[in-house]
């Protein structure tokens, strides 16, 4: 029996449609075109891996396990995502543009910092060298306009560089004193039995030490990174709003730290010391970042509303 035209149509509908040879070749060409963009960077990636994989292994096994430095892996991941996000813009900006020999001094500075930091166990130099090295390599391979396209990703990486302990200790104590002072006065004003001696707070029968992780320099830097990332992703056109928000990030981060210390004090007062030092202590860290993010969004909305009102007021009324 020979198949009828109706049978052929039914079999065509029931059988899975296969892509044509041209479709398959087109997809292969497009995927190869995407991959070919990264081919010149493969030796660079291999060299960076050889240099910094031991550094990352050390960081993940040491300071990035501490509460004060737990933002390090997050900043690294976000920085890599920012690099990938700006990759097409970097390649487009580099089209027809000359490379720059100014990248060599940056590369040499970076290698010197890495050698010094690695040999002397100075993480500030060892980790910080990657920023100089990436900037120098971009200049050597793509030029100044490409470096401009990746400037924020390089800048954001600064927040993962461990600062020298002397600087941290010098700046952290005044910050903890200020945060605990404000938290004490707010809670006292609403009727809680609270007192303070330095950075040690007593609420009821409980005593709390305001630690570095609660109100230290690293917390402030983490919140600064969060605010700057928000500004980068939102991309407001108004220079006034961007500058104002960048300035407001510092008091917002301070306020979020006060909120966290107050939350821990209230948890300890109402639920006991175990609750204050257990799961709810870790949960207060979430409260810190959520409160900071909500404050940033709120101030941004207020500035947006004010700018709209100002523009409407500036337009003369027509009859």
Q: For 304, which DSSP code?
A: H
By the 8 A CB rule, do 89 and 80 touch? no
| Distance of alpha carbon 36 from the chain centroid | 29
CA distance 203 to 196: 9
CA distance 2 to 8: 10
Catalytic residues: 214, 260
Cα angle vertex 40, ends 38, 45, to 5°?
Answer: 70
By the 8 A CB rule, do 187 and 147 touch? no
Q: What does the block give as tokens for 148?
A: 């401009």
């Amino acid at each position: 029996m020979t198949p009828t035209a109706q049978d052929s149509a039914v079999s065509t509908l029931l059988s899975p449609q296969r892509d044509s040879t041209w479709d398959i070749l087109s997809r292969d060409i497009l995927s190869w075109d995407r991959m070919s963009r990264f081919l010149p960077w493969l030796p660079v990636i291999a060299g960076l891996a050889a240099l910094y994989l031991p550094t990352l292994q050390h960081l993940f096994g040491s300071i990035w396990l501490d509460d004060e430095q737990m933002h390090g892996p997050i900043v690294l991941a976000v920085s890599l995502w920012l690099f990938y996000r700006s990759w097409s813009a970097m390649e487009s900006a580099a089209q027809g543009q000359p490379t720059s020999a100014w990248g060599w001094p940056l590369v040499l500075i970076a290698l010197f910092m890495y050698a010094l930091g690695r040999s002397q166990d100075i993480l500030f130099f060892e980790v910080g060298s990657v920023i100089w090295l990436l900037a120098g390599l971009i200049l050597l391979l793509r030029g100044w306009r490409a470096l401009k396209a990746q400037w924020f990703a390089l800048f954001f990486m600064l927040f993962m560089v461990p600062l020298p302990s002397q600087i941290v200790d010098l700046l952290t104590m005044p910050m903890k004193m200020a945060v605990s002072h404000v938290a004490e006065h707010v809670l006292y004003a609403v009727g809680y039995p609270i007192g303070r001696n330095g950075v040690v707070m007593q609420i009821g029968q409980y005593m709390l030490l305001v630690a570095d992780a609660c109100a230290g320099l690293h917390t402030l830097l983490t919140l600064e990174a969060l605010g700057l990332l928000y500004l980068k992703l939102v991309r407001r056109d108004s220079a006034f709003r961007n500058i104002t928000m960048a300035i407001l990030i510092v008091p917002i981060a301070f306020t979020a730290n006060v909120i966290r210390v107050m939350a821990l004090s209230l948890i300890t007062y109402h639920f006991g010391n175990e609750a204050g030092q257990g799961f709810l202590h870790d949960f207060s860290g979430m409260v810190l970042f959520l409160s900071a993010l909500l404050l940033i969004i709120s101030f941004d909305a207020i500035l947006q509303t004010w700018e709209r009102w100002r523009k409407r007021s500036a337009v003369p009324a027509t009859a």
